[in-house]
């Protein structure tokens, strides 16, 4: 286990030197390992090195959200997520880069600089969990945690060719995750895993949905999925967004008798500087934040030379400004990963992960042919 834990940070350092994706390496890794070795119980994540997004609290380190004013504000304790990860045997070894204020899908700030894409350094890693996407996509981490308000786990996962999962809102504790804007509740921020494949996502979700998380955060009650769903159906009538969610489920989803859906994902990775010009593109992901549906992305292919040739000859739609800008954003993308998005109803996270696994299995089978 010790060699494995030390090997990953060494790889991460190499990846960081190329992509600028890590904000800090934890100095207490040896202490974490010693505590693990002294324990009689081995959790399901025993010895797994884990990286976390910069604004997830870790004792003794700042959570700046890319803002210099928070550099000297050191966290007094770990977030609930970090506590549960450690309880389950993981070793948290690094924090990763974010955009300034988190409200952008290009990862850059005046403290840590710009994060590049592991497949093509002329491209961005997306955001706001872009540091995580780049680190995992570059092979510097096997498992990490980002947050998602409008696609901030799914966009970097898609751009960097990894698997990422946004759980149902409040399925995992947000206690100790610094918000950029206090009190913003209209579209809830979620924390979720990012990994090199869907198996990693399944492993960590199983490990995290445990008594320890419920004990540490009373806002994540250990009640049945059916009860949570029943409660939600009654109180959603009083809030506009929740009314929209209920109507969508009732009129669209159930009418079509669907279990889950596979839908488009934004990609391939944009050229640096274009995400700020194409903010409307997050509509591919933000819809499911508003609906509070669990959603994840799975890589299913790569941009081919034929795709690039077709793009060069693409004349656009009705002289649309966004169309022209998007064409420039994704140009020169041969070899970049492409993903699809899998979505299920609230609190059917396990079903969503199962669908993601099936998509991944089918893709791997096609790759072997």
Tokens 């996502």 appear where? 201
The reply to whether 152 belongs to the active site is: yes
Residue labelled with tokens 């609906």: 291
CB 114 within 8 A of CB 68: no
Choice among 51, 152, 158, 339 that is catalytic: 152
| Catalytic residue list contains 63 | no
Of the listed 128, 141, 157, 169, which one is catalytic?
A: 128
> What local confidence, expressed as pLDDT, does residue 202 receive?
98
Query: How much is the pLDDT for 237?
Result: 45
Query: What was the pLDDT predicted at 319?
Result: 87
> How far apart are alpha carbons 204 and 125 in whole angstroms?
23
**What residues of the chain score a pLDDT lower than 50?**
236-237
Tell me, yes or no, if 128 is annotated catalytic. Answer: yes
Main-chain dihedrals φ then ψ at residue 244, nearest 5 degrees: -65, -40
Decide: pTM greater than 0.85.
yes
In 129-280, where does DSSP find H-type helix? Answer: 130-137, 154-160, 198-208, 211-216, 225-235, 240-247
Q: Which CATH number fits domain 2-216: 3.90.1300.10, 3.40.640.10, 3.40.50.970, 3.40.190.10?
A: 3.90.1300.10
pLDDT on residue 221: 56
DSSP 297-330: EEEEEE--HHHHHHHHT---STT-HHHHHHHHHH
What pLDDT shows up at residue 291? 87
Domain ranges of the chain: 2-216, 225-368
Catalytic residue among 53, 86, 87, 95: 53
Q: What is the pLDDT of residue 318?
A: 86
Alpha-carbon gap, residue 266 to 312, rounded angstroms: 19
Instruction: Tell me what pLDDT residue 84 has.
Output: 97
pLDDT of residue 180: 76
Residues of the chain above pLDDT 70, percent: 91
The upper half-sphere exposure of residue 136, i.e. CA atoms within 13 Å in the direction of its Cβ, equals 35
List, in sequence order, every residue forming a beta bridge with 190; answer none if it has no partner.
148
Is residue 84 a contact partner of residue 172, using CB atoms and an 8 Å limit? no
**So what's the pLDDT on residue 206?**
95
């Amino acid at each position: 286990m010790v060699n494995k834990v030390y090997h990953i940070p060494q790889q991460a350092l190499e990846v960081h030197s190329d992509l600028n994706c890590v904000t800090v390496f934890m100095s207490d890794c040896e202490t974490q390992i010693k505590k693990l070795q002294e324990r009689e119980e081995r959790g399901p994540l025993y010895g797994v090195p884990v990286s976390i997004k910069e604004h997830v609290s870790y004792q003794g380190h700042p959570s700046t959200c890319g803002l210099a004013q928070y550099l000297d504000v050191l966290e007094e304790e770990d977030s609930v997520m970090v506590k549960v990860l450690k309880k389950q045997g993981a070793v948290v070894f690094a924090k990763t880069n974010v955009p300034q204020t988190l409200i952008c899908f290009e990862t850059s700030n005046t403290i840590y600089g710009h994060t590049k894409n592991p497949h093509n350094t002329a491209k961005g890693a997306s955001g706001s969990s872009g540091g995580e996407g780049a680190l995992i996509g570059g092979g510097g981490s096997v498992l990490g945690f980002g947050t998602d308000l409008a696609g901030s786990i799914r966009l970097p996962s898609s751009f960097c060719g990894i698997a990422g999962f946004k759980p149902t809102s409040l399925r995992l504790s947000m206690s100790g995750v610094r918000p950029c804007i206090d009190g913003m509740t209209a579209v809830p921020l979620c924390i979720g895993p990012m990994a090199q494949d869907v198996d990693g996502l399944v492993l960590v979700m199983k490990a995290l949905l445990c008594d320890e998380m419920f004990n540490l955060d009373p806002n994540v009650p250990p009640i049945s999925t059916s009860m949570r769903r029943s409660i939600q159906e009654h109180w959603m009538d009083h809030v506009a967004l929740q009314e929209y969610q209920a109507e969508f489920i009732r009129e669209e989803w159930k009418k079509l008798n669907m279990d889950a859906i596979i839908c488009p994902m934004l990609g391939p990775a944009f050229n640096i500087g274009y995400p700020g010009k194409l903010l409307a593109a997050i509509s591919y992901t933000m819809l499911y934040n508003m609906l509070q549906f669990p959603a994840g992305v799975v890589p299913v292919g790569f941009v081919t030379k034929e795709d690039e040739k077709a793009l060069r000859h693409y004349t656009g739609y009705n002289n649309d400004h966004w169309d022209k800008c998007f064409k420039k954003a994704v140009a020169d993308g041969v070899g970049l990963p492409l993903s699809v998005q899998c979505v299920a109803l609230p609190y059917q996270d396990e079903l969503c992960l199962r669908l993601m696994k099936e998509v991944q299995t089918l893709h791997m089978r096609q790759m072997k042919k």
